[in-house]
């Protein structure tokens, strides 16, 4: 049995990731991991931790399930007032199958208790409704792709039936053709304008689509990094790959648009770098560098891409007084590079040293972290 933190934490630090937002994994395990990192008992990034809330269609054990408005209120109250005195999560992570009434229960109680809610836009509400309601951030560009269609309501209704992966694959196949035919540029501009006006942040996670878009070729699955991931995790990834046909890759490539990311950026929507590790062939730490490269490919400048992983997260969390820039008195979180990423964003991979919360990892120490993970997973 593997523990996600056993390999993810060292891999993130080895790749210069000194802070991360956990979007609702096994909450108690992740909170213990957060405490152990803060106390110096484990190597890993500073963590901001969410608890995932979803509808009855999702049967995962680590999800708080809601069906009614009262359930939504209760889920937020439980987060805010953990009776056993244990640490609570930092935010509510909404997921895709939250019913409409429950979503607005979450909205009302989160605002009342001043707890952020962020994550997926549930199929039961539109992107504009979520933004107008005060959802802090939207994860992935799937929801935006649907929102830019004149058939948005129909597409969301079709997606609400079940959380099974097989159903999702079928819906992606069917919906991609509808979205291509029904793309409405004026509606899309209106949606993006709403996001900018409401200060709703977006995490594109472009990297999560790449294996599916490129038929799980070696350029997108990175077999050279396989030694850093437990075999049980890789087996799950390979099952996902077997569920798709080569023709599906063409469908996925049409399902999202690099241009949409650039449209968000040009409109003033603030972006966050994220990867959705450990989705299929998304590697903790390593894939963050891929995401930065994909953001530049979408039209951002290298500086703008770098800000999505440095200044912007500090701004998002209200922590610019201690993080996000290099100045006296701030937390010592630094990544020292051997080449300039402003001339080539791929230079973010050329890491000479990492300083995480004041702890220095030189190149030999970073290599030792990688070697330790690889050796531990071979046993």
The mean pLDDT of 250-261, rounded to a whole number, is 78
| pLDDT number for residue 256 | 67
Contact between 241 and 213 under an 8 Å Cβ cutoff? The reply is no
For residues 83 and 269, the model is more confident at 269
What are the E-state strand segments in the chain? 19-22, 46-54, 64-65, 91-94, 117-119, 137-139, 201-203, 334-337, 351-356, 359-362
Q: Taking residues 118-130, report their average pLDDT.
A: 97
pTM of the entire predicted model: 0.94
Answer yes or no: is pLDDT of 255 > 80.
Answer: no
Average pLDDT over residues 287-297: 98
Query: Is residue 268 scored above 80 in pLDDT?
Result: yes
Please write the tens of the pLDDT for every residue from 147-178: 999 999 998 987 766 556 666 666 677 777 88
* Whole-number Cα distances in Å, 346 to 26, 95, 216, 352: 33, 33, 22, 14
Read off the pLDDT of each residue in 99-103 and give the average, rounded to a whole number. 98
Domain ranges of the chain: 4-324
Class of domain 4-324: alpha beta
- What pLDDT, on a 0 to 100 scale, did the predictor assign at position 111? 96
In terms of Cα–Cα distance, which of 97, 88, 167, 150 is closest to 125?
97
| Residue 28 clears pLDDT 90, i.e. is over it | no
């Amino acid at each position: 049995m593997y523990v996600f933190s056993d390999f993810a934490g060292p891999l993130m630090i080895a790749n210069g990731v000194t802070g991360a937002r956990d979007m609702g994994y096994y909450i108690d395990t992740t909170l213990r991991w957060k405490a152990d990192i803060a106390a110096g008992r484990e190597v890993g990034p500073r963590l901001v931790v969410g608890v995932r809330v979803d509808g009855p269609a999702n049967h995962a054990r680590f999800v708080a399930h809601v069906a009614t408005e009262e359930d939504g209120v209760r889920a937020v109250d439980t987060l805010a007032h953990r009776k056993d005195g244990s640490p609570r999560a930092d935010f509510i992570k909404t997921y895709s199958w939250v019913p409409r009434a429950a979503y607005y229960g979450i909205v009302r109680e989160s605002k009342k208790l001043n707890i952020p809610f962020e994550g997926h836009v549930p199929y039961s509400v539109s992107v504009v409704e979520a933004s107008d309601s005060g959802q802090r951030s939207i994860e992935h560009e799937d929801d935006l792709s649907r929102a830019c269609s004149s058939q948005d309501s129909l597409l969301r209704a079709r997606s609400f039936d079940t959380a099974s992966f097989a159903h999702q694959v079928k819906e992606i196949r069917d919906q991609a053709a509808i979205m291509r035919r029904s793309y409405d540029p004026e509606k899309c501009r209106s949606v993006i304008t709403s996001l900018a006006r409401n200060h709703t942040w977006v995490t594109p996670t472009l990297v999560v689509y790449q294996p599916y878009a490129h038929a799980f070729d070696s350029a997108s699955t990175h077999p050279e990094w396989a030694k850093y991931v437990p075999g049980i995790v890789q087996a799950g990834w390979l099952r996902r790959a077997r569920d798709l046909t080569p023709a599906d890759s063409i469908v996925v490539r049409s399902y999202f648009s690099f241009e949409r990311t650039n449209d968000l950026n040009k409109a003033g929507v603030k972006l966050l770098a994220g990867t959705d590790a450990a989705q299929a062939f998304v590697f903790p730490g390593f894939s963050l560098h891929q995401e930065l490269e994909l953001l530049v490919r979408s039209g951002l400048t290298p500086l703008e891409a770098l800000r999505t992983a440095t200044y912007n997260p500090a701004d998002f969390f209200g922590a610019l007084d201690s993080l996000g820039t290099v100045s006296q008195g701030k937390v010592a979180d630094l990544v020292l590079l051997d080449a300039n990423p402003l001339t080539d964003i791929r230079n973010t991979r050329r890491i000479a040293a990492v300083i995480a919360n004041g702890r220095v990892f030189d190149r030999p120490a970073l290599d030792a972290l990688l070697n330790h993970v690889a050796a531990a997973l071979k046993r």
